[in-house]
Chain A
Amino acid sequence: MPSEDLEKIARKIIAEAKRAGATDCDVTISTRSAVETTVRMGEVEKLEGAQMRGVEFRALVGHKSASTSTSDLSASAIKQMVRDTIAMAEASEADPYSGLPEVEDLCTGYPELNLYDPSIAEIAVERKIELAMAAESAAREADSRITNSDGASFNDSSGAFIHANSRGFVGGYQGSHVSLSAGVVASKDGEMQTGGWWATSRDFKGLESPEKVGKTAAQRALRQLGARKVKSQEVPVIYDPLMAARLLSQFIGAASGAHIYRKSSFMVDKLGEMVANSIVTVIDDPLMPGRLGSKPFDSEGMKCQTRTLIKDGRLETYLLSSYAGRKLNCKPNSGSVGNLYLKPGDSTPESIIESVKNGLLLTSVSGMGFNAVTGDYSMGASGTWIENGKLAYPVSGITVAGNVLEMFGNIEAIGNDLNFRSSTVSPTIKISKMTVAGE
């Protein structure tokens, strides 16, 4: 469905809601078509294709609110949805802080961010299969110890969405994603290790080559062969860029306004305080053209801007939705991030590894051992042990633990290897001391 049609429906919903007694309302309508192409062991395994659509509508009656989602866009269903939602709001209870953003915080006019590649919709299925096959064979042919495969996929999706509210905001755009992934199994003497890799992009041209995706997957499986446990000890831990990004996301998630006004975060009362070593700067930039997390306005229609969240170790701002802003009596600045990254340093990843006499290069974590209230962190871990500045042998079956505030305070080196392969990214980081539990 073209964006103009979505906008028409959105405007209709808002007019209908006002007629039916809503004092304020907002609506998001999206449509998307997606294709997933999966191959395994050199054959096509699965083809999936679908067109999706959905509406999310929120009505306010005074300070009472309710929301409904549905995929039925027929005129009668929309009318019913609006009435039912208003009735539900009326039957609910008032929250004095509920409401839409103030008009001055809404986005008016935005730059073109190049989030849509029309050529994605034109890629023939045969070409998608070829690319997935190429990624899988690159992985399987990388080494004779690659003996099995979880398969490789080429997935793409293109869509459009519109957000509108009763305070005059209407905005929407088209977006696309394309991704290529592969997963293989390396084995030796009865031991099996899996390794996977993926690439994702807004545009087809920007996608990493199938050879690179496949080879990286193979290398990640191979490097874990022969993994063993180590003794429990306190050592420096190097987080590779993927693990560092995951840690960054957990750390910054705790600065979300919803956590702060509920006091359920270790970031409470930390505004303007040092929360990390002074070499750490964290930036959220939703306005970078063509990036995976880019967006001109947020889910409430508020304008997005580049924010420095942590500057030289000091927490500069919380992430404030309009609701959190009202609760905390602060100006809102959007409750979600766009492209979140830790600013790269000067060190090469190799030199960071060389700086460790005895420690861990962390390449994978598992489990749910992160507590955003206390900052306590305990995760299953695997990676490569470092001895005298050199990668020595693979390790698994161990855990790494600490408190994230202390961990960020102990970041003593930051790599120069930042790559915007996801919406949250980080270069390699070195944490001077963590508890590793093993034998």
Chain B
Amino acid sequence: MAKSNTPAKSSILDAHVMSAEAALHDRFGLTYGQLQKVIADAVKGTGGKNGFCDVFLQAGSALGVSLDQGVIKSTSASHTSGAGVRVVVGDKTGYSHTDHVTVGNLRRCAMIARAISEHAVDSGNVPLSPVSSVPHDLYAVTDSPVGIELKERIALLRKMDQLARAYDARITNVTVGLFVEDYTVIIATSRGDIMADKRPLVRLNVSCLAEEGTRRETGSSGGGGRFGFEVLSDETYWREHVQIAAKQAVDLLGATAAPAGEMDVVLGGGWPGVLIHEAVGHGLEGDFNRKGTSAFSTLMGQSVASKLVTVIDDGTIADRRGSLNIDDEGTPTGRTVLIENGRLTGYLQDKQNASLMQSKLTGNGRRQDYRYAPMPRMTNTYMAEGESSPEEIIASVKYGIYATTFGGGQVDITNGDFTFSATGAFLIEDGKITRMVKGATLIGNGPKALHNVTMVGNDVSLDKGVGTCGKDGQGVPVGVGMPTIRINNITVGGSKS
């Protein structure tokens, strides 16, 4: 097929083409020629309307094992092999997938996908320029995590269970889960590209139940990323998570009701960055802004946060859960500054939305798996660090809460209201942490709340690698991060009015 639209390829890209073709043959028994024919027919079927077609193939396994109440509760494996064919004409999309990859089934998918062109007009041929044409090499893995023996994985869970039970006599149950996966994805497009990525991902979760009288509380922790099992099985790594979970469960036994109302809030570093993910991240995804349904749609270039706030989405950080060598459309991931010193500077884009908005590709086209068409999604989204020390930030608050552990959050893209739920927090009185309070949901409005960030710490960190972001029913692994910050006048949803 014609390669006239293909950007000049570097030798590294050529190497990737070779490995992609080899993977295609190994995992699916297909040749690149067969795939190109399917794609060419799909595009031809769009009747000269400048349709774009890509095929996303995915094969691999996920393994899980969990321990609960001192016994191995479940041992599971899930094997995936499938492909999705997409045809895009302008702002219209056709999609179909198969759980059984054969040339015949791919052709059938292409026929279903290209039916969209009957409802489309000529889209013109908008060129897309990737931010960088060189895929990254971000995962430090020598042995695939799915190759680790079950006995070895169980041994790790046993050690964690024992350590947690030894932490305090009030710990009465421990649940530990270990999930490892490794998927090969191949993306071939009608622009003549073929790319592959082999993506390992591991995750460890521990949850402790503490009991005292009739009072029960749980604490949990976990970590992971795109690295090998050896990182998780390192004693310092798992010990830290066990201790965080056990301590939180025991500490919460003494927590009292959280206060209710507007107050000043200090958020710790790392996982509380879920604030950024909800308050601004989703609202800056290209699809909502193209359609004009985001609270940020008309705010590009304008001030949306205090000058202390800079927010970045970066899919290129080595080993991270939210990182990818290439996104699920084959674009190398990038680093996009979303907010710079309070001013809105960037959107997150996939191919279709970048093309329609004539904006640059950012490498944020992602999907849960081959069953879904891609859309703009975050990777690792964090607030850059400032100059204050965490201690002086806490000391600056007269009355408020200090929250370090969160469950998750949610946002209404259109009106900008976001929530994120603390699983436990501390009361600050006269600049000092005085006691622990129970969890509460915090609520604010995206384009407004970040104007109230009055101090930003010098201790930025990313979360430990357990986040999954949901959008339109699709879950993808993401990272969040933040330094310690102070944010004034946030509504805290405690039960003590």
CB contact under 8 A between A46 and B80, given known A232-B261, A369-B440? no
**A54 in contact with B99 given A268-B216, A378-B421 (CB within 8 Å):** yes
Q: Of A95, A129, A148, which is within 8 A of B291 by CB?
A: A148
Given A72-B100, A91-B149, A398-B491, A380 contacting B75 (CB threshold 8 A): no
B78 — nearest CB in chain A belongs to which residue?
A: A69
Determine if A103 is an interface residue (Cβ-Cβ < 8 Å). Answer: no
8 Å CB contact of A70 from B79, B440, B445: B79
Question: Is B51 on the interface with A (CB-CB < 8 A)?
Answer: no
Determine, out of A37-45, A204-212, A312-320, A416-424, the stretch whose residues face the partner at the interface.
A37-45
Q: Which residue of A50, A369, A436 is within 8 Å of B441 (Cβ)?
A: A369
Evaluate whether A437 and B493 lie within 8 angstroms (CB atoms) in the complex, with A366-B419, A396-B415 already known.
yes
CB <8 Å contact, B115 and A193 = no
B28 → A minimal CB distance (Å):
12
CB distance from B147 to the nearest CB of A (A): 14
Query: How many contacts A-B (CB < 8 Å)?
Result: 253
Contact B443 A68 (CB under 8 A): no
What 0/1 pattern do residues 335 to 370 of A give for CB contact below 8 A with B?
A: 000000000000000000000000000000011110
A183 to B295: give the CA distance in the assembly, Å. Answer: 16
**Is B238 an interface residue when CB atoms closer than 8 A count as contact?**
no
B residues in contact with A130, CB < 8 Å: none
Within 8 A of A (CB), among B426-452: 438-441, 443-445
Q: Which residues of A contact B91 (CB under 8 A)?
A: 45
Q: Within the complex, which residue of B119, B149, B295, B495 is in contact with A401, where a contact is CB–CB below 8 Å? A: B495
Q: Do A437 and B491 form a contact, CB below 8 Å, given A50-B98, A369-B441?
A: yes
B94 contacts A438, C-beta separation under 8 Å: no
* B494 close to A378 (CB less than 8 A): yes
Q: Are B98 and A367 neighbours in the complex by a CB distance under 8 Å? A: no
Tell me if B92 and A46 are in contact (CB < 8 A).
yes
Interface centre among A45, A268, A382 (most CB of B within 10 A): A45
Residues of B within 8 A of A399 (CB): 260, 419, 440-441, 443, 491-493
Known: A47-B115, A84-B77, A380-B441. A367 touches B420 (CB 8 A): yes
Q: Is A264 an interface residue (CB 8 A)?
A: yes
Interface residues of A in 98-137 (CB under 8 A from B): 125, 129
Cβ-closest chain B residue relative to A39: B119
Interface size on B, residues (CB 8 A): 83
CB distance from B355 to the nearest CB of A (A): 15
- Return B39 CB to nearest CB of chain A, in Å: 18
Chain A residues near B119 (CB-CB < 8 A): 43-44, 47, 129
* Residues of chain B within 8 A of A227, CB atoms compared: 415
B389 within 8 Å of A by Cβ?
no
A71 touches B99 (CB 8 A): yes
Q: Report the contact-size class of chain A (Cβ under 8 Å from the partner).
A: 35 or more
Provide the bound-state CA to CA distance between A315 and B423, in Å.
Answer: 28
Q: Which chain A residues lie closer than 8 Å to B417 at the CB level?
A: 366, 380, 382, 396-397
Query: B410 interface residue, CB < 8 Å from A?
Result: yes
Establish whether residues A438 and B261, one from each chain, have CB atoms under 8 Å apart when the complex forms: yes
CA distance A424 to B387 in the complex (A): 50
Q: Are A263 and B493 in contact, with the CB atoms below 8 A? A: no
Nearest-neighbour CB distance to chain B for A175, whole angstroms, equals 19
Choose among B115, B217, B262 the residue that contacts A438 (Cβ–Cβ < 8 A).
B262
Asked if A373 meets B217 with Cβ closer than 8 Å, knowing A378-B494, A439-B262, the reply is yes
The answer to whether A378 and B493 have CB atoms under 8 Å apart is yes
Q: Would you call A435 and B495 a contact (CB within 8 A)?
A: yes
Which chain B residues lie closer than 8 Å to A40 at the CB level?
291
Known contacts A84-B77, A92-B154, A435-B494; decide if A366 and B412 are in contact (CB<8 Å): yes
B112 touches A397 (CB 8 A): no
In contact, A374 and B260 (Cβ under 8 angstroms): no
Q: Does B172 contact A (CB under 8 A)?
A: yes
Which residues on B sit within 8 Å (CB–CB) of A233? Answer: 497
In the complex, the answer to whether A71 meets B76 with C-beta atoms within 8 Å is: no
B443-497 contacts to A (CB < 8 Å): 443-445, 491-497
Contacts of A380 in B (CB 8 A): 410, 417-419, 441, 443, 493
Contact check: which of A84, A371, A398 meets B439 at CB < 8 Å? A371
Residues of A within 8 A of B409 (CB): 367-368
Contact (A66, B441) CB under 8 Å given A263-B209, A366-B410, A378-B421: no
Q: Which residue of A lies closest to B409 (CB)?
A: A367
Q: Can you spell out 11 A-B residue pairs with CB atoms less than 8 angstroms apart?
A: A44-B116, A45-B91, A47-B116, A48-B96, A48-B373, A49-B112, A65-B74, A71-B81, A92-B154, A369-B421, A369-B439
B positions within 8 Å CB-CB of A: 65, 68-69, 71-82, 91-100, 109, 112-113, 115-116, 119-120, 149-151, 154, 172-173, 175, 209, 211, 216-218, 258, 260-262, 291-293, 295, 371, 373, 407-415, 417-421, 423, 438-441, 443-445, 491-497
